Structure 1
Amino acid sequence: MNIAVELTTAPKAKPDQENLGFGNYFTDHMFIMDYTEGKGWHDPRIVPYQPLVLDPATMVFHYGQEMFEGLKAYKTADGNVQMFRPEKNIQRTNVTNERICIPSVDEADALQAIVKLIQVDKDWVPDAPGTSLYVRPFIIATDPFLGVRPSFTYKFIVILSPVGAYYKEGLNPTKIYVETEFVRAVPGGIGYAKTGANYVASLKSQMKAKEKGYSQVLWLDGLERKYVEEVGTSNVFFKIKGEVVTPSLQGSILPGVTRDSVIQLLQSWGIPVMERRITIDEVFEAAQNGDLEEAFATGTAAVISPIGEFNWEERIASINGGKIGELSRKVYDTISGIQRGTIEDAFGWTVKVE
């Protein structure tokens, strides 16, 4: 793929690496590629970061045909830049595309586009502890048409954002509110796809949780309201009597890249890990019996987010005295070390940005 590059003539000032927050700042350039039915994907280009100009009737505004992904690039100790398992995010891109009738992208082309954009904006990759460059690829339907059908035209866009920690708690355990009124997804729906509809459906519960002093929501299944599914925007793991359990993928849970990495890591350490359905009753019973040793959420944004407390219908389950567990810490340190090049990548997960 031949990517045209137009460099900015007005570079932005770099933000303070100690106060990045998450998703607040954006680099000097963006990647764009267009799709036209009968022509396919075409005109790949890197241009100065700029607003999009779209017709008010553009279909993405009215019918929500859009997808996005999230991955990161890291500055290593030797000053190089590398990504963590980008091919998994690109594979998942096409899983989402297939579900919501967006044309598939060539996976090699998508990776080339991301690498090229990071190369152009390499100076934006932060190197302060706990920071990284967040990569946001997304696709939107662009036909100016009011009617329910797949669009005939699309834009594939990639933007970059230097970021710090996603949760203000950092590695301090978070408090989680168990949602029993609303649901995030159901089997047969789009819960396994990376599309904005899943996230807008979560906002009401997230706001309710924050009003009660909780950082995130634990979602239960949409049919029986008893099986654990996800924590907010993350997958969830429980360590119960030495065995690690994570909800099995039932079509309503996002197959997280970090989730898969944690499972592989635990298996390599000889730690029993089970993918199965687990009820909220089982979680609380284990907590009451002292069998629930640790719980943590996993995702690209935070990597590992330890959980110190659940609130389910005003019943409180405290975990490990509200402190980060030994296994949670080891998983975080190992994955973060691989991402930043301080620990050997025995799994072949990293991709260098030359």
Structure 2
Amino acid sequence: MQFSLQHQDKQSNARAGELITDHGKIETPIFMPVGTAGTVKAVHQRELENDIQAQIILGNTYHLYLRPGLDIIQKAGGIHKFNGWERPVLTDSGGYQVYSLADTRKITEEGVAFRSHISGNKLFFTPEYVMDIQRIIGADIIMAFDECTPYPCEYQYAKDSMHMTHRWLKRCCDRFDTTDSLYGYKQTLFPIVQGSTYKDLRVQSAETIASFEREGNAIGGLSVGEPHEDMYEMTELVCGILPKDKPRYLMGVGTPANILECIALGVDMFDCVMPTRNARNGMLFTTQGIINIRNAKWQDDFTPIDVELGGYVSTFYSKAYLRHLKHSDEYLAGMIASVHNLTFYLWLVKEARKHIIEGDFAAWKDIMVKKLMVRL
């Protein structure tokens, strides 16, 4: 993987860059649609490529390990061959499941014991095994195994967890560096900064992660319930420490306003389930603000969903028709809304990149953040 910075905003820490993998080029800042089980829910690959113009998608190691299973993915020739997506893929290591499945897991120095949420069968993930799993899945960018701490958590818990994440990272790097990709293209390992909302821990973790000198770095353990102000403070702190010449990935973030604010702090890569999950519940993100398509005010509004956004679904379907589909429990409602929201998210980071290059990002961002938070 290669990363180059092309522009730096003079009024903020926002950057525009280019990340090159063996499956293609990614222009940053970028948003990655979440395809947990190898598919972005309710969206075809051709829509991801042609309408949404996604440059990279995300999959989840834990879920892909359970279904369809490693044997199937390896027989297919890796995740790209299996799901027909020929652009870059990033896989989360399963560290988030250490957080989200807290009731059914046990953490030790060796690794994490889970129970499958599908079958109830016992699972045991070690840092080494997680590297092996991600080698078999075959994503272009893979994540180190970590513990995502809950919010709030006690200082000592956050400190102990952070140190264990660092020890796990050493084991991940050792396994990654002594194994090869299975499918003839290069894979890249990103470490993850932890430390909850404690400044000294975040500084220590960022410095430790940077010392491993990997090709990119991630910031984890945020957007788990802490106030937005704390997320921004931790992100700014960490971005001031992580190398400027390597991509920075803020995991699981977030709302359109979150993304713009964190771009301004120096983040390059984002993912979040929000655009597709909220779409299935009838919430649309638009260039003018947020729409709840279930509301009666849209029942006779025959204007396009978002004519300023462009794209097929945003300009072809009316708000009244989408509301009708939603109230009729038609699957098409979730499909249209998901494509629209992802188109919006990709438009947003593309516009951010344009304004970084043009030199007026900070002023544009301040206007957009206010506009995007309006409930229409």
Q: TM-score, normalised by structure 2?
A: 0.27
Higher helix share: 2
Higher strand share: 1
